[in-house]
Amino acid sequence: MLRGARTPIERARFPVIDIHTHLCWAEEQVSGIEMSGSRRYLATPADLLPVMDRMNVRALVNLTGGWGTGLGESVTQFDIAEPSRFYTFTTPDFGRVLEPDYSRSQADAVVDAHRAGARGLKILKTLGLFLREGVTTGPLIGVDDARFDPMWDVCGQLRIPVAIHVSDPAAFFRPVDRFNERYEELSAHPDWSFHGGDFPSKAQLLAARDRVFARHPNTQFLALHVGNFAEDLEHVSGCLDRFPNVSVDIAARIGELGRQPRAARKFFDRYQDRVLFGTDATPQGYDMPQQLFGEQLYEIYFRFLETPDEYFDYAPCDIPPQGRWRIYGLELPEDILIKVYNHNAVRLLGENTQT
């Protein structure tokens, strides 16, 4: 019954680069592993540009661009057709991990992808949670497995960022019972639970990821979803303090940041040069569980970052998808807002354009 201020934000105050979207997905996926570089498209630039223009979203970064011919098509349809409005990242072909020369050939594939126009490398949570020694069977392959070292290094040499998703929300590693704060979500999607079985703990997964950050100081990593630990900003701060080659995005985590507005505001102050705007948006019609692209989604993100509004929904749904709570706006000052909306992304993407 609470009645609070409602400050509609129809356009972002500064041009926005959304560093985390999915405009296409792998044609073929087995047990969470992309088995093909070819893509299934969810939208065309013509579908997306009118919404982007209305909301002041200057560019979308499509993280899941695939590899090979699939990647080439993504780049042609988006990046080349609409320069500076779309950027495509490549993904590794983990299905080939058993091949004897995989370590080298995967690094070479990233070089090829970069030549074909990819602006970064995306690592899905596949690594650490799905990819196994027999691809889909056998023991899990560690995030810090030495086979991937050449791949991380080559990204540093090419000066392209690695957008990396490791582990998942803390609640997904806890028993799915009445004490789990995301019980409804996990009941609806039991396969999102990584509790039990042979899954590593969240702490083990993040520790392995941090060893990768430490071993590859010349590679820029974008630790997605607030470093995959938005529930514990002290932990994320520790990671950012230890590794100057790491930055974070806020995609699909305003529900977490917005329920701790004072800690979140301090976090934005302190790491204002290393926090990037992202949503995890996907165009409508997608069968993946991300947030749907559109005005409503962006309005909530802008309201969260720009206004002092209190206790509002973090998602454009009747039932909050990540847990039954609401959020508080941060009212970021303009100098921080412009960095989060675009300057930090411009730097990470190595864009040489104006904003």
Instruction: Quote the least distance from Cβ 82 to Zn ion, whole Å.
Output: 21
Instruction: Quote the least distance from Cβ 130 to Zn ion, whole Å.
Output: 15
Instruction: Quote the least distance from Cβ 147 to Zn ion, whole Å.
Output: 24
Nearest residue (CB) to Zn ion, 20 versus 202: 20
Q: Which two tokens stand for residue 108?
A: 């070479």
Q: How far apart are the first and last CA of the chain?
A: 42
d(CA 259, CA 157): 39
| DSSP result, 34-72 | E--S-EEES--HHHHHHHHHHHTEEEEEES---SHHHHH
Nearest residue (CB) to Zn ion, 267 versus 286: 286
d(CA 327, CA 84): 32
Instruction: Quote the least distance from Cβ 67 to Zn ion, whole Å.
Output: 17
Nearest residue (CB) to Zn ion, 89 versus 213: 89
Instruction: Quote the least distance from Cβ 281 to Zn ion, whole Å.
Output: 9
Is residue 168 a contact residue for Zn ion (CB under 5 A)?
Answer: no
Nearest residue (CB) to Zn ion, 165 versus 274: 165
d(CA 113, CA 220): 17
Nearest residue (CB) to Zn ion, 176 versus 252: 252
Determine the size of the site formed for Zn ion (CB under 5 A). Answer: 1
Choice from 168, 231, 280, 309 touching Zn ion (CB under 5 A): 280
**Can you give 310-348 as a three-state secondary structure string?**
CCECCCCCCCCCCCCCCECCCCCCHHHHHHHHHHHHHHH
Stretch that binds Zn ion, among 145-153, 198-206, 227-235, 274-282 (CB under 5 A): 274-282
Contact footprint for Zn ion (CB under 5 A) = 280
